Chain A
Amino acid sequence: MSLLEIADLKVAFPGPTGPVNAVNGVSLRIESGQTLAILGESGSGKSVTAQAVTGILDVPPATVSGSVQLRGRELLTLSRKQRERVSGEEIGMVFQDAMAALNPVFTVGHQIVEVLRVRRGMSRADARRRAVELVDRVRIPAAKDRMRDYPHQFSGGMRQRIMIALAIALEPDLLIADEPTTALDVTVQAQVMELLAEIQRDSGMGLLLITHDLGVVAEVADDVAVMYAGRIVERGTVEQIFAGPAHPYTEGLLNSMPRVDRRDEQLYAIPGAPPNPARLPAGCPFHLRCPRATDECRVVLPPLLALPADRASACHHHEEVLDATRR
């Protein structure tokens, strides 16, 4: 049994001209201790997928279908109350904007202590001791003295680490991190990613990492799911994806990224822009930007097909892509 198994997840929002299909049938799986990165550009549906897993999506207006199982237990059919308990205690959540996740009117110490008291029934003294341990664990200097500080009194990188302390307070089995380092400098990003890896090594927690940064993915992921227009278009191990992508979108992303360790004369630029989820093109959603598109692509939506070596691609011409990209 997998730690998390998502099957055919669909999420839509009502829009002015009909439904906005933000997530269009996503299936994926994470094992304990593993890191799965969801890679994709802005608007591809990464955050909505995460919100559907944690249950923080407002239904209605959103409509959700498919299945989300945590250790074999279906979450989508739980009552609101049960759902809140599961996401509160078994799933931890870290966002891009720590300021929005932390309550500005309470001290950092108070917020962690309250979680431990309410969810774990700890005494005030025990909760306080544990909270100091947690803040120290995320390497905030002088943790004990900083418990009385408010979120705005910390730097961006420190707030991000305090949000991690809060997210791991109840020792969740699964941590969902949505662009946890996007707003941070590379120096601080390296600190935060190192911290997450360390916590994971110690606790065996599974990590669902959402990012648009190919570099971060290459550094920390075990498996990768590439999202485009609400679908997973390619899935594989991090080595497979980077050594030879099986989808033209992944191929384009890898070629369009400048690298710090070498200088390429010219970057490949994927033409055009990601499609509007309220008006997806017919056939393959990538066909207007794809250099390999054929007539078939303009009409027939390619399903996510299992390929040898436990990887998958949603492209009619995946064999051709693999032949071209395999190094």
Chain B
Amino acid sequence: MPPGDEVVLRVENLVKHFPVKGRVPFTSGGVVKAVDGVSFDLRRGETLGVVGESGCGKSTLARMLVGLEQPTSGAVRFGTSVVHQARGRELRALRRRIQIVLQDPYTSLNPRRTIREILLQPFEIHPDVLDRRRRIERIKELLDLVGLDPGLHLDRYPHQFSGGQRQRIGIARALALSPDVIVCDEPVSALDVSVQAQVVNLLERLQEELGVAYVFIAHDLSVVRHISDRVAVMYLGKLVETGPEVSLYESPRHPYTRALLSAVPVPDPAGRQGRQRILLAGDPPSPVDPPSGCRFRTRCWQAADTCATTEPPLAAGAHPVACHFPLAA
């Protein structure tokens, strides 16, 4: 199923500020601006990749999308519902529709429950989805779908599986209630290269068969390129560029995107002598006290006076970029 035009998830100016608690006495009253005004649309059946350095706010964003974290302001809309305002029956319906898969298959499954119990749990929370007598049938289908043998695996515990198998179980659990959206936060980062490819292929196949949309968060830009239809680049709590996979990777327009891409090692020793690499100095600044104007200006090689005073907005369009002097396409 190719992605359609229908928007399944609309994210509007989402903000999350965490108060800083007294570890450093002089900063009390300050806030960590973990996510600071993020907007995007997710279309039915598409994959939106989100990339950015450690600490830029990716997981905080993910937790807000699925309702695990209350935003400071802004909204996540699903159809006519607003994720953080919904209550009761509406909230339960939303929870069903938007699922999450986490990085660590070791900690995201309860070690004292068998796979049967783990996969039945979503139906216990949402009993009206499926008649009790049909549930075992359904979880066998689910295991089959993610490439595990129901006859062999149903009564085992998580520790009896490899990392890749546990990630498959996590995906089966996320799929149990036929969601429209799955937010994947670093789903393959803890896996070995060979197993990572298995899980990436599985996610792609499931999308084709079921039409589910993914928000795919990862720090590995190669994996994100492979799986995404569109990609959003995040820096210090803000999106600095979003665009279709090809145009973003082939002609990045934000200096940060270009620097990030040029740092990725390419598995081709033949070309390594002539490769142009932009080495960014230092680390991203603290999200407690981000730079004025453009947040990237302290590491940007083309920063000008305007960049320190005026924040560049993320312009509208197919390939928006938040920069006063975007690079030539």
Contact surface of A with B, Cβ cutoff 8 Å = 41-42, 141, 155-158, 185-191, 193-194, 212-219, 221, 238-239, 242-243, 252-254, 256-261, 263-264, 266-271, 273-274, 289
Contact = CB atoms under 8 A, between A and B. Distances in A.
Contacts of A269: 194, 197-198, 201
A216 B265 contact: yes
A217 B261 CA distance: 17
Contact of B195 (A190, A193, A238, A273): A273
18 contacts: A185-B219, A186-B219, A186-B260, A189-B265, A212-B192, A216-B265, A256-B194, A257-B197, A258-B222, A258-B227, A259-B266, A260-B266, A261-B268, A264-B226, A268-B197, A270-B194, A273-B195, A274-B194
Given A187-B260, A188-B283, A218 B272 contact: yes
Contact of A273 (B162, B197, B221, B272): B162
A126 B227 CA distance: 54
B211 interface: no
B266 A253 contact: no
B264 A41 contact: no
Contact of B259 (A187, A214, A273): A187
Contacts of B194: 41, 252-253, 256, 269-270, 273-274, 289
A252 B194 CA distance: 8
Interface residues of B, number: 43
Contacts of B197: 256-258, 267-270
B164 interface: yes
A217 B269 CA distance: 8
Given A155-B283, A242-B269, A258-B225, A186 B264 contact: yes
Contacts of A260: 221-222, 225, 249, 261, 264, 266
A158 B193 contact: no
B156 interface: no
B54 interface: yes
B225 A263 contact: yes
A214 B267 contact: yes
Contacts of A42: 192
Given A259-B222, A263-B225, A187 B193 contact: no
Centre residue among B249, B259, B268, B279 by max chain A CB count within 10 A: B268
Given A218-B266, A259-B267, A212 B193 contact: yes
Interface in B195-209: 195-198, 200-201, 204
Contacts of B261: 260
Given A157-B283, A263-B225, A267-B201, A242 B267 contact: yes
Contacts of A41: 192-194
Contacts of B283: 155, 157-158, 188
Given A254-B267, A256-B193, 15 more contacts: A41-B192, A41-B193, A155-B283, A186-B219, A186-B263, A190-B279, A219-B265, A219-B266, A221-B269, A239-B269, A242-B268, A259-B225, A259-B267, A260-B249, A273-B163
Centre residue among A185, A252, A260 by max chain B CB count within 10 A: A260
B246 interface: yes
A141 B282 CA distance: 9
B152 interface: no
Interface of B: 53-54, 162-165, 192-198, 200-201, 204, 219, 221-223, 225-227, 245-246, 249, 259-261, 263-270, 272, 277, 279-280, 282-283
Contacts of B272: 218-219
A215 B266 contact: yes
Contacts of B268: 218, 242, 261
A267 B200 contact: yes
Q: For the complex of A and B, list the 9 residue pairs with the smallest distance between their C-beta atoms, beginning with the closest.
A: A215-B265, A258-B226, A256-B197, A270-B194, A269-B197, A190-B263, A41-B192, A269-B198, A267-B197
Contacts of A158: 283
Nearest to A186: B263
Contacts of B263: 186-187, 189-190
A257 B197 CA distance: 7
Given A141-B282, A155-B283, A212-B192, A185 B264 contact: no
Contacts of B267: 214-215, 217-218, 242, 254, 257, 259
B218 to A, nearest CB: 11
Centre residue among A185, A218, A257 by max chain B CB count within 10 A: A185
Contact of A213 (B227, B249, B265): B265
Contacts of A218: 265-269, 272
A273 B246 contact: no
A23 B309 CA distance: 59
A217 B193 CA distance: 14
A215 B264 contact: yes
Contact of A214 (B162, B193, B219, B282): B193
Contacts of A264: 226
A261 B266 contact: yes
Centre residue among A187, A238, A264 by max chain B CB count within 10 A: A187
B257 to A, nearest CB: 12
Contacts of A239: 269-270
Nearest to A158: B283
A214 B197 CA distance: 14
Contacts of B201: 266-267, 269
